[in-house]
Amino acid sequence: MNYTSLEEIFSAFNQMKVLILGDVMIDSYVWGKVERISPEAPVPIIQVKRKEKRLGGAANVAKNIQSLGATPILCSVIGNDLEGDYFIDLLNHRNINGEAIIRSDHRITTVKERFLSGSQHILRVDQEELFKLKQKEEELLIEKISSLINSVQVVIFEDYDKGVLNRKIIETTIQLARKHQVPTIVDPKKKNFISYFGASLFKPNLKEIREGMKIDFDEEDMDSLKKVVSKLRQKLDLQYVLVTLSEKGVLISGKDSDIHIPAHIRSVSDVSGAGDTVVSIAGLCLGLNLPPKFTAALSNLGGGLVCEHLGVVSVNKEMLLKEAYDNSLFTN
């Protein structure tokens, strides 16, 4: 379909279903005030004022997809524990489809707990297990993916190296997606970096490229970066590579062109979760077969918007639409 306006594109998001596969977690926040140092050890004492738990990891991608109007279907493995119960409650509260969430007696639910005084991040405590899935859990996950793949328009891999994704699950999912002509979008991490052969769009940052490719390059030299990205695209037979460049914006590389889109000047409060927003927007755009330049530009805008907020938040669709207009992103 040829779209004639930004409104048509944003309206089309509402008709899409997205399968999100990867590591989920709870982002826990403790806000307080620091006025003195502990007499027991040279550490600050936080007087707690407020606590909040949010959906994190691949579940934050689901929140972004939902905020953009599409329907997320979350596929992952969590613990059969109290934190897992709380995670399910958070999903239900947001009306996010958790039919493909598997409960495990062998894992704990990942929780990242952050302690903040005002806007200052004081401490983070992680509760997690990083070992690979049991065979039965792997089989159940592939079974869920197989049953859902024909009902979605996009598959997003959200990899945090927590053990849910492995080579077999990745390869099986991409094969199924290609069979049903469903595009696959990858937000990679180091462990499975070279396992995503044949994906549609691959979204690493500079650190992930360096670690995943085991290659050093000059980040300030755009030509050097383009050569590395081209090598990555060919090695994994990728349609596109979308590299997030932090304050330098994004680079999208395809067979026919490399397009660098600079970042927009913003008051940055927190970069946490920006990558989740970028991959969510890119996934929906690819599902609608929109041009790569528009895909990269809209994703870049969305990633910048969430950086203006403290903590991990999902993108605001109305604000994104306004910014897209203000920056003349769409030309028919």
pLDDT per residue as tens digits for the range 156-201: 999 999 999 999 999 999 999 999 999 999 999 999 999 999 999 9
Where do the structural domains in the chain lie, given as residue ranges?
A: 6-28+56-326
DSSP annotation of 122: E
Q: Which of 23, 159, 187, 276 is catalytic?
A: 276
Active site residue 276: yes
Q: What is the pLDDT of residues 242-261, one digit of tens each?
A: 999 887 889 999 988 899 98
Q: What is the pLDDT of residues 202-231, one digit of tens each?
A: 999 999 999 988 888 887 888 889 999 999
Which is it for strands 111-117 and 24-37: parallel, antiparallel or unpaired?
parallel
Coil, helix or strand at residue 313: coil
65-87 burial code (b ≥16 CB/10 A, e <16): bbbbebbbbbbbbbbebebbebb
Task: Please list the alpha-helical segments (H only) found in the chain.
Answer: 6-13, 58-67, 82-94, 135-148, 167-179, 206-213, 222-235, 274-287, 292-306, 317-326
**Of the candidates 241, 240, 311, which has an alpha carbon nearest to the alpha carbon of residue 274?**
311
Q: What is the pLDDT of residues 265-308, one digit of tens each?
A: 544 444 456 789 899 999 999 999 999 999 999 998 888 786 66
CATH topology of domain 6-28+56-326: UDP-N-acetylmuramoyl-L-alanine:D-glutamate ligase (3.40.1190)
**Of the candidates 67, 61, 87, 76, which has an alpha carbon nearest to the alpha carbon of residue 21?**
76
This prediction has a pTM of 0.91
